[in-house]
Amino acid sequence: MRKLRMGMVGGGTGSFIGDVHRKAAAIDGLIELVCGAFSSSAERSVQSGRALFLPENRCYGSFEEMIRAEKELPVGERMDFIAITTPNHMHFAPAKMALQNGFHVVCDKPMTLTIAEAGELISIVEETGLLFALTHNYTAHPMVRQAKAMVAHGDLGKIRKIQVQYLQGWLATSVESTDNKQAAWRTDPSKSGIGGALGDIGTHAENLTEFITGLKISELAADLGRFGEGRVLDDDGNILLRMDNGAKGTMSFSQIAAGEENNLAIRVYGEKGSLEWQQENPNQLITRWLDQPKKIFTPNGNGLYPEAATLSRIPAGHPEGYLEAFATVYRSFAQHLTAVLEGTTLQNTGYPSVYDGLRGLQFISAAVHSDSNNAAWTKLP
């Protein structure tokens, strides 16, 4: 009967995603930030910790120092888990060390740089029994959960066709050559991995597709683009999908689509009807049917499955969005971890896991392999 204690890796002053994690973790009052290694510089880490009103002795110069020091604290004081909010290349090492030292993990996606690293984390999670959450936040929107429930209950009939897109325009110019840290590391293969936009937003499209439909991508044919001057990594892509039930799909993602902001959208077509969800209008799920009028579902509206109806925090008509969905991932993780610490039984309540992290790496690898072979059809495990 207490708040869970969170330590943060990365996410110092000026970090976009670190601030998102802190706000999302705090929304439901289940988690408090108690320590952090907020920067690769010990001085900047302390400065960031002070700005967050943390005691200086809980602001560490590195994640290694933090994990070792927190492990030595009494059980009633030490952190319960770490949240990793660093660029991609700094996900694996702190996750591995935290798990090996008895700490649970929340991590940004992609989970690691390579499939081998992902497999190693899975082995440690399975050996230790510790919890691992991956922040694929879009799966936690109430209307995404409604979409998933409708498919699972057979409302749409057998799924035949999927169209998914994730379009941004913030890399339409060479902003990485300016003082834009977000662009600099995302276009650097040593920090981002083998996928550029593919790993950054394509994995969200992949995860949302498999989450809503309950299907797996069995094969893909990928055509990746590199439009920014001098860019090594992809900043655009189009992928044909074959699902494991025989359905067909198309995926389009881009970070050079001029004028686009965060246009993640999915359409799923079944034998009886279809559904459409757009991240920029997240509180509406549009459904269309062969034998009845179009219907729009909203949070707290009528006809929702329990999987969706229980997620909304505020009355109908009040907007819920990005932070609330992120917070739902944290809330689900916190409920699970609290049960573990209290010795009661509670299964994963819906947050993405280490296995979703592996799936994302498999998707990236298959798409890069396909593109390098002139968009050849490539199987996924």
- State whether 119 and 252 are in the same domain: no
Confidence of residue 301 (pLDDT cuts 50, 70, 90): confident
pLDDT tens per residue, range 246-264: 999 999 999 999 999 999 9
Find out whether 346 and 335 touch, Cβ atoms under 8 Å. yes
**pLDDT at 345 (0 to 100):** 76
pLDDT of the residue at 179: 86
**Do 223 and 100 fall into the same domain?**
no
Q: What is the rounded distance in angstroms from the CA atom of residue 153 to the CA atom of residue 290? A: 17
Domain boundary pick from 130, 155, 187:
130
Least confident among 26-30, 248-252, 315-319, 333-337: 315-319
**Which of the residue ranges 154-158, 291-295, 341-345, 360-364 would you say has the lowest mean pLDDT?**
341-345
Q: Alpha-carbon distance 59 to 225, whole Å?
A: 42
One-letter amino acid identity for 78? Answer: R
**Percentage of the chain with pLDDT > 90?**
93
Asked whether residue 349 carries a pLDDT value surpassing 80, the answer given is no
Query: Does residue 183 sit within a domain?
Result: yes
Which of 358, 370, 144, 379 shows the shortest CA–CA distance to 238? 370
User: 82: domain range?
Assistant: 4-130
For the chain, the helix, strand and coil percentages under 3-state DSSP, each to the nearest 5: 40, 20, 40
105 shares a domain with 36: yes
374 and 257 share one domain? yes
In this prediction, residues 101-124 reach a mean pLDDT of: 97
- Which residue is associated with the tokens 């550029």? 196
21 found inside a domain: yes
For the chain, what is the mean pLDDT?
Answer: 96
Q: Using a pLDDT cut of 70, give the percent of the chain over it.
A: 99
pLDDT of residue 1: 80
Predicted pLDDT of residue 234? 98
Show the tokens assigned to 71.
């492990």
The CATH number of residue 192's host domain is 3.30.360.10
Same domain assignment for residues 125 and 187: no
Question: pLDDT digits over 14-68, tens only?
Answer: 889 999 999 999 999 999 999 999 998 999 999 999 999 999 999 999 999 999 9
In a domain, 291, yes or no: yes
Domain check: are 174 and 201 in the same one?
Answer: yes
Q: What is the CATH number of the domain that holds 96?
A: 3.40.50.720
Residue 328 is assigned to a structural domain of this protein: no
288 shares a domain with 171: yes
pLDDT at 348: 60
Per-residue confidence (pLDDT) for residue 13, from 0 to 100? 86
Strands, DSSP E only, in the chain? 4-10, 31-37, 81-85, 104-107, 132-134, 159-167, 217-225, 236-243, 248-254, 263-270, 273-278, 285-289, 295-297, 378-379
Same domain, 32 and 176: no
> Residue 287: which pLDDT band, with cuts at 50, 70 and 90?
very high
Residues 44 and 156 in one domain: no
CB atoms < 10 A from the CB of 248, how many? 14
Asked whether the beta carbons of 277 and 213 are under 8 A apart, the reply is no
Does the residue 368 lie in any domain?
yes
Per-residue confidence at 290, pLDDT binned at 50, 70, 90? very high
Residue 323 lies in a domain: no
Q: Do 23 and 109 lie in a common domain? A: yes
| CA–CA dist 239, 221 (Å, integer) | 5
Which of 103, 130, 157 is at the close of a domain? 130
374 in the same domain as 256: yes
Residue 345 forms part of a structural domain: no
The pLDDT, as a whole number, for residue 347 is: 67
Residue 326 lies in a domain: no
Residue 128 has pLDDT above 80, yes or no: yes
Examine the fold and report which residue of 113, 130, 147 is the final residue of a domain before the chain moves on. 130
**How many domains are contained in the chain?**
2
159 or 41, which is more confident? 159
Same domain, 96 and 244: no
